[in-house]
Amino acid sequence: MSCPDCFKGSVHDGTPAGREETLHGVLTYIAGTSSESSSSATIIFLTDAFGFNLPNAKLLADFYATRTGLCVLVPDIIPGGGVPLSTLSLMTVVTSPVQWYDVWGQIKRVVFGLRLMTIVIPFARRTKGAFPTVLEFARAVKGESQGKLGVAGFCWGGMMSTKLSMQASVEGGDDRLVDAHFAAHPAGLQPEDFVEGVRKFDVPFSMAVGDKDFVMTKAIVNEIETKLRKDCVGNDVE
């Protein structure tokens, strides 16, 4: 489901400017307000594995709200909450090079690796059935606003956002749920998954990956682009 990069990163400086409210039964960080916007469009921001434990998502949501003038919603929707910040230091030790003769360094890597597994494995298990809740939240947001819905997903959230792009706005309906989709380093998906949302509902899609992405390798990105050009005739692919 995930790779080492899913549990790496840094804590950004800053104080989130939005507020937290329970929205459609889910604790949600709200950046910007619908009253401040001239548009009824809304953006749902789906976080990486750290969830609300890092301020990064809230700060980026604030930036999105400022730049777009739209209301940006960040639901605290990971079952059991995001992974703890201690994961950052654990992953740094586990993935840092160690000389073969550095006995203490090798022992430290093993110990930290075992501690890391006590975080990563439970996270994978408890998030396995998370999508129905994410879908219910997204449909409730769109149903209430009656406007366009954009979704941005990061890592674990990118898997959720991609699945949302394949869904109708209501169960059994013909209208799309997501009107624009962005995913960064999406995890746990096959190339066909990215094509499906575009093919099924013509959802505009943009993806960001790193130059050395462990999961989304250049070969996989090229495969996705090839499938989009082949299976989504009539759509612009860049």
136 and 158 part of one domain: yes
Please indicate, yes or no, if residue 105 is contained in any of the structural domains.
yes
- When the pLDDT of each residue in the chain is averaged and rounded to a whole number, the result is 88
How many domains in the chain?
Answer: 2
> Over 80: is that where the pLDDT of 6 sits?
no
Position 1 scores a pLDDT of: 44
Compute the distance between CA of residue 127 and CA of residue 8 in angstroms, rounded to an integer: 19
Look at residues 126, 157, 187 and tell me which one is the last residue of a structural domain. 126
Please indicate, yes or no, if residue 237 is contained in any of the structural domains.
no
26 and 59 part of one domain: yes
Render pLDDT for 136-194 as a digit per residue (tens, 0 to 9). 999 999 999 889 999 999 999 999 999 999 999 999 999 999 999 999 989 888 888 98
160 and 223 part of one domain: yes
Higher pLDDT pick, 117 / 209 = 117
Q: Which domain holds residue 16?
A: 4-81+130-231
Please indicate, yes or no, if residue 238 is contained in any of the structural domains.
no
- In terms of average pLDDT, the best of 91-105, 150-164, 206-220 is 150-164
65 and 140 part of one domain: yes
For 222, residues 6+ apart whose C-beta sits below 8 A from its C-beta are none
Please indicate, yes or no, if residue 236 is contained in any of the structural domains.
no
Position 92 scores a pLDDT of: 86
97 and 68 part of one domain: no
145 and 110 part of one domain: no
144 and 218 part of one domain: yes
> Over 90: is that where the pLDDT of 95 sits?
no
101 and 74 part of one domain: no
Look at residues 126, 142, 157 and tell me which one is the last residue of a structural domain. 126
Which DSSP letter does residue 13 get? P
> Over 70: is that where the pLDDT of 8 sits?
no
Flag whether the pTM goes above 0.85.
Answer: yes
Please indicate, yes or no, if residue 168 is contained in any of the structural domains.
yes
Please indicate, yes or no, if residue 39 is contained in any of the structural domains.
yes
Nearest to 205 by CA among 169, 164, 156: 164
> Over 70: is that where the pLDDT of 33 sits?
yes
The CATH number given to whatever domain includes residue 155 is: 3.40.50.1820
Mean pLDDT of 60-88: 94
